[in-house]
Every structure is written in structure tokens, then in C-alpha cells.
Amino acid sequence: MEKFTDKLQAMLMPIAQKVDRNRYLTAIKEGFLAVMPLLILGSVFLLFANIPITGYSTFMKSFLGSDWSNYFLIPFQSTMDIMTLFVVIGMAKSLSNYYHVDDIGGITLSLVSFLILTPNLLDSKSNTGIPKANLGAAGLFLGMLATILAIEIYRTILKKGWTIKLPDAVPENVSRSFSALIPGLFVVFTFTVIRILFMLTHFGSAQAFIYTVLQTPLLALGSTLPAQLVAQFIESVLWSLGIHGGNVVGSVMDPIRMTLMAQNAHAYSLGEALPNIIQYQFGANFISLGGSGTAIGLAIAGFFFTKSKQYKALGKLAFIPSLFNISEPLVFGFPIVLNPILIIPFILTPLIMTVLTYVVMVLHLVPAASGVNIPWTTPPIISGFLLSGWRGSVWQIIEIALSTLMYAPFLKILDNKALKQEQSELL
């Protein structure tokens, strides 16, 4: 087993490091990290408009009027519904900092590039506007691609020195603004040409092309059970080798999962049926209970069912963090990393929970997660209630019990060994 894990580590470590260090994937990850507080805030107000408590809606209607929910939906529509704008800002800043170019210029040109490619609306009175839907989940992939291309053009022109240079006496902020003119001209011209070329096709716009050819197939694939199982398996294997599997897999999968979550949140705000079972909150709050590997079961087993001093102390240390979905004390403390015994339940448990959770949601025994973007540190049972009502809480309780039963026999092997060693040392 040790030779196998060594070979697996030698094979996967370089791949994981390349993925984790890829500047574009890093920019996407940092873009989502930057927007996460806004999405959580918007989701809180969406939750206020849809708290699953009997009589809540009637009470709010009597207090604020028949349109009371609109008061809470406006903050949601001003955050989650235009999330692509914020992701573009975060990505542009990350890439600009990576290339050591002016981040304000990079952010501005990235936003302009995305808006150039975003189709407009024209009503019967010749009023124009940008559909809000195109600034949300539907425009996410276009925004990411536009940002990458805009920053690459921007930094290439700057590197060649094709800028307007003003005398040293000119204030720095004025000089910096003029230095972005020529790079900005290249960026705007390039994206204008791209818009025109796509308008000449049957797609009509770059956004329609990206959504049809790239985004829709990826979302369809990412929302399937097999894709979730593969991603979950890779994440658990990387963690068991000491590599942050969440970062590696998340940098690839999170844009898809977040888009699916945004679709659910939009449908939830309109009172429509939720389109996706598998999305960001499916994994974050129904699979990663206690952290990666559904490790809350190991924390409970370590806290309540161990007899050796070693594992009893480790269980106490890891129990509280696991309640907030932090598994590092378990992964590196017990440890799970390169531990041939604990690796088995660490990989199998989340896979089984994925299948079971998918089944109970397909059968409508538990409602799909609403798309409300609660913090990932929200404790289990509470998160289940916020996302899927009381049945979500009940299912998480069942998951916790099952994960404890799955981890307990494997931990017992280690605990008995440690207990015998401790007893022999006392003789």
C-alpha cells in the first residue's frame, strides 16, 4: 500500500501543482473568492424573502404589503443576478497583478471588453439596454474568456512599449491614464471586430456562441452524477496524498458549480422549480460535512468512541473545527494523509454520500438546494435547513450517522493499536 501511494503521489503531484499554479485557473479562483462575500450577502436577502417557516409569508405580507418580497429581492438582483461583472473585476485584478501591470487599467478594459460582446436589447420605443440575465450566470463564461483575452492584449502592448509617454513633471495618475490609451485602443478595436464577426454568423453574438457551444455542454456535463463522482474521487485522492484537493478540483469545477447554483437561486427567487440537483451547495453542504471526505464522521468517532489517549486527544482537537466544515486537523492530525487505513473511508464515504444524496433529491424526499449561497463554514443541520428546509436537516443528520458508522471500524483498528502501545509503555 505504501509503495502504491508513493507511486500515485509521484504521478499526481506534478499534475496537481501545474493545475494549482496555472495563472488563468488561479485568476478564475480568485475572481470567485472576491465575489463570494457579495453572493453571500445577496443570498441572505433571498433567504429573507423565502424563509421556510409556516406563516412567515402571511406575517410579512400583513406588515409590508403584498409586494413585500420585492424589498428583499432587490439586493439579491444587485449581487447574484449580475455576478459576472464582479467575477470579471476579481479576475482582471488577479491577472493584472500576476503580470505586474496597472490593475485599474486591466479591470476597466476587461469590463469594457465584456460589455462590447454582450448583446443589447432594443424595445418598441427604441430604448436600448443590457439584459440583466446576460450579466449573471448566462454571461459567466463569456466574461471569463473576455477578461483573459483583454488582459493578454493589454499586457502585450505594454510590454512592447507602445504607450504615450508624458514628461516626468506630469502627475503620475494623469500619466498612467494616458499610458493606457494605446493598449486600450487595441483591446477595444479587437473586441469590436469580434462582435462584428459574430453578428455576421447565425449565432448573432459572441455570448450566444459561447453559451451554446461551450457553456451549455459544460453545465450539462457538470450537473451529472458521474461528473460529480469523478471530481469527488479526484479531490479525495489528492487530499489523501497531502495535496489540497479542494483547490485543485475547485479551480476547474467551481465556475460550473457556481453557475448551476446561480440558476437555482434565480429560479428560487421567482418561485419556479429548481433546475439543478448537483451544483455548488450540493457538494459544499451535503457532501463535505465536516470538511473534505465527509470527515465529520471521523471527528465524532474520534471524540466519542476512541479509548487510546492519542486518538481521544486528536478527536477532541478536531471535533469543534469539523462542526464548521474544517477538516485540516483530521487530514493532517490523525493523519489521513498517506494513512492506508483511513484513506479507504476518506475516499469511499463522500462517494457513497454523493450517490445517496442525489437519489433522495431525485425522488423528492429531500428538496434540492435552493441556490442560497450560505458560507461554507455553516454547521451541518443548520445549513440543511437553510438550503432544503427541515428535510435537509434530517437528511444531514442521517448522513452524519452513516459517515460515523463508516469511519468507526477503520478508526477502531488504529485506536486498538495505539491503546496496546500505550499499555505496553506503562508496563
Give me the pLDDT at residue 419, please. Answer: 85
Q: Residue 129 phi/psi, 5° resolution?
A: -170, 170
Give me the pLDDT at residue 87, please. Answer: 92
Q: Which three cell numbers, joined as nine digits, stand for 308? A: 487510546
Give me the pLDDT at residue 229, please. Answer: 93
CA distances from 379 to 289, 301, 400 (A): 8, 18, 12
Domain ranges (residues) in the chain: 2-219, 226-426
Q: Which three cell numbers, joined as nine digits, stand for 323? A: 462542526
Nearest by Cα to 368 from 349, 351, 391, 352: 391
Tell me how far apart the terminal alpha carbons of the chain are, to the nearest angstrom: 32
What DSSP letter does each residue of 210-257 carry, written as one string?
A: HIIIIIHHHHHHHTSHHHHHHHHHHHHHHHHTTS-HHHHHHHHHHHHH
Nearest by Cα to 116 from 79, 147, 94: 147
Considering all CA atoms of the chain, what is the largest pairwise distance in Å, rounded to the nearest integer? 93
CB atoms within 10 A of CB 364: 9
Give me the pLDDT at residue 3, please. Answer: 64
Q: What angle do CA 344, 350, 354 make, to 5 degrees?
A: 140
Strands 128-129 and 121-122: antiparallel
Give me the pLDDT at residue 5, please. Answer: 56
Low-confidence ranges of the chain (pLDDT < 50): none
- Give kind and range of the element (H or E) at residue 104: helix 103-117
